[in-house]
Structure 1
């Protein structure tokens, strides 16, 4: 829509000036991100910065030129700029995606319909760029967050339950360390078996060279090699033609003593990674989370003070990991953080109540 004909008020002009500085700041964010990228991603980010420049020109025109005094960009945009200069990471793109989704231009009477449409498209463009980064780090990030959260929640629940029974602080500390080691070893062993089993499964499903030596001796017109290709999903006619070509090539190569067989060895390391590496990372991720609830007892606290400090430390960690998951998934960081906190504290509350009941019954 076109700008209304009504004379602008001083409040309108202040709002335009805020839009102006925000658009400039967002353009700088995209250019700083583009400087850290190459190829297509750099071109896309530069195009986004140019689009923000068009929006900036609109507000400059309404203001009648550069104002003598301009406000600061809003806090979210300044934070984006700070992160872009220092990190240039997937977190910046995730924040930029959320920022584009909160554009005020749908409700702004002095913004054109084209500008409002631009912001919606920008949201999808940034979302696509962020998705590339999410795919690149999804495996490692998933293992880190899930491992650390498992350690946080399980060991917090353990020490809360043990502590509620009224046992000596040394016993709570021992239980926490035992829970850390047991959980981390279980996670590491489970990840090792999982990755090793996946590698073996993939190797078992790949074509083998078991029959390669027999290929030169097959009848080019009547052989079962076509059946092998059909079991791999190839249509009958295509499988038969492929079998004939392979047998003919194998016979020709054998006559020249150069036959090496058609099957190549497939390395699955890039697909599933190292079993030992996965086991070690799972061990460390779990241990890094599980050590936090035990810290108060490690430093000599006991009783209610230790429990409260453990809750505070774990709460901060749960809020942080939840917010990171929210950012990277494009969801609301606060909602994800609070959900993570509720799950962790809910589990701890259950074991604490059970510990109280057990302590009373034993008393």
Structure 2
């Protein structure tokens, strides 16, 4: 496969700045780039307006970089820059979301957009601009990752709890409905599935989070060594073994133990003294409260499990009720799958479609089993 021709350097493009020889296609493309860069700069400014500290500074830095890119296209256009075009629908949608949604959701979408920059193959874009866009993608990825880490615990339980409610109760009523029983039985079965599933999910989340918190707390070192230190034999230093067991190197453990025993100041590297067993308070905070996880799981599972029985509550029956139920659940699965995709940095559409396929697959299996049992008179 032939290698692509090397792109000209930024310096060699200075002679292309005059626009007299630019084609109409070039001008249209430059105007589109200019509109997109201005929209992206505004997007980062809108996000920065809702943040504080380091995140705000980083977002404003990204906005300044987008402004430099916009200045490049404005210079190429010269007098023609006055004819403005609207940015793409995607950029306008991202700008709207930046003003109304949380940071992590918008950054997850922006991350994908930054990764598809056309500057790498555009001869009128400088090497610096192409490199900037690659770096921007990594900056946005890091910010999004930081945001995703904050959305653990109860939020995770809520999203997956609702998804479980949607799939399990749809499959349940599809299976029961296929046997040919009356609406009253289907509705009672759906309500029973809602309550049983919600209570089970809440209990499971409570036990899971509570157990994780207890495990973390049990793994953290205590202050017993400080109490015992004055009575230890300095020549047979058992304290050194404690620090080595916690993950320190032999040298650092020896110095730390000597410090505790008062022999001399510790000159060990603090970063090397950190050990796996010493878990910061932030780990427990990120895990969330067991009651919070249980409560959100209960209500979100219940909300998801309520959707499949809405047609029956509205008075529909038979195949019509099953079809309407499947459609409502399908739309909800697309939403929850898209949210999961955003949190994981993947394509929201692909994750939504995958979630839809899994949910409908489970419902189809139970529906076919219901038909089989109904025909057999079971």
Pick from 320, 326, 344: which aligns with 2:335? 320
Does 2:299 align with 1:284?
Answer: yes
User: Counterpart in 2 of 1:196?
Assistant: 210
**Is the partner of 1:138 in helix, strand or coil?**
coil
1:243-322 pair list within 5 angstroms: 246=260, 270=285, 272-322=287-337
User: Counterpart in 2 of 1:135?
Assistant: 149
**Is the partner of 2:79 in helix, strand or coil?**
coil
1:28-47 pair list within 5 angstroms: 28-47=42-61
Pick from 13, 31, 47: which aligns with 1:17? 31
User: Counterpart in 2 of 1:124?
Assistant: 138
Does 2:17 align with 1:7?
Answer: no
1:125-274 pair list within 5 angstroms: 125-207=139-221, 217-222=231-236, 224-234=238-248, 246=260, 270=285, 272-274=287-289
User: Counterpart in 2 of 1:257?
Assistant: none
Displacement after TM superposition at 1:362 (Å) = 0.8
Tell me, in whole angstroms, the C-alpha distance in 2 between the residues paired with 1:350 and 1:171.
20
User: Does the 8 Å CA contact 2:41/2:62 hold for their aligned counterparts?
Assistant: yes
Tell me, in whole angstroms, the C-alpha distance in 1 between the residues paired with 2:366 and 2:130.
51
Tell me, in whole angstroms, the C-alpha distance in 2 between the residues paired with 1:40 and 1:93.
16
Say how many residue pairs are matched: 348
Tell me, in whole angstroms, the C-alpha distance in 2 between the residues paired with 1:215 and 1:73.
68
User: Is the alpha carbon distance of 1:300 and 1:72 closer, same or farther for their aligned partners in structure 2, counting shifts above 3 Å?
Assistant: same
Displacement after TM superposition at 1:141 (Å) = 3.4
TM-score (norm 1): 0.85
Pick from 344, 359, 362: which aligns with 2:359? 344
Listed one character per residue, the Cα deviations across residues 161-203 of structure 1 (whole Å, up to 9, x for unaligned) are: 1111110011111111111111111111112222222233334
Gaps of 5+ in 1: 250-265
**Is the partner of 2:153 in helix, strand or coil?**
helix
Gaps of 5+ in 2: 1-7, 264-279
Displacement after TM superposition at 1:290 (Å) = 1.2
Aligned-CA RMSD value? 2.8
